[in-house]
Amino acid sequence: MLINFKNNKNLKGRSITRAIRDFERVTKLAENHAFAWNGLIEGYKENGQKDKLFHAQNKLKEILKDSKYWSKKFDQLEYEINY
């Protein structure tokens, strides 16, 4: 989880476009994958994709409101929530 999401090399500067594409693929396979939505928020901010950013922020808020599992995972891994 840490390497693929929190410390993702593409998201940290190597290729924001690739990170976005990868995280979008994850959300298609697992719609409520909060770490993928969190990564998308970071990527969309970096790329200036405001419409997609707004959607991703709302989706992540919804997931965290409904899922104690994901809220707990963010706390356990000290992963900053990006909304």
AA letter at 54: F
Euclidean distance between CA atoms 50 and 67, whole angstroms: 26
The number of beta carbons lying within 10 Å of the beta carbon of residue 46 is: 15
- Structural domains counted in the chain: 1
Domain containing residue 72: 2-76
pLDDT confidence of residue 6: 84
Is 83 inside any structural domain? no
Is 71 inside any structural domain? yes
Is 18 inside any structural domain? yes
With contact defined as beta carbons under 8 Å apart, do 5 and 39 qualify? yes
Phi, psi of 81 (to 5 degrees): -85, 130
Give the tens place of pLDDT for each residue, 36-63.
999 999 999 999 999 999 999 999 999 9
Is 63 inside any structural domain? yes
Give the tens place of pLDDT for each residue, 6-25.
889 999 889 999 999 999 99
We report the CATH number of the domain holding residue 44 as 1.25.40
Kindly report the pTM of this predicted structure. Answer: 0.92
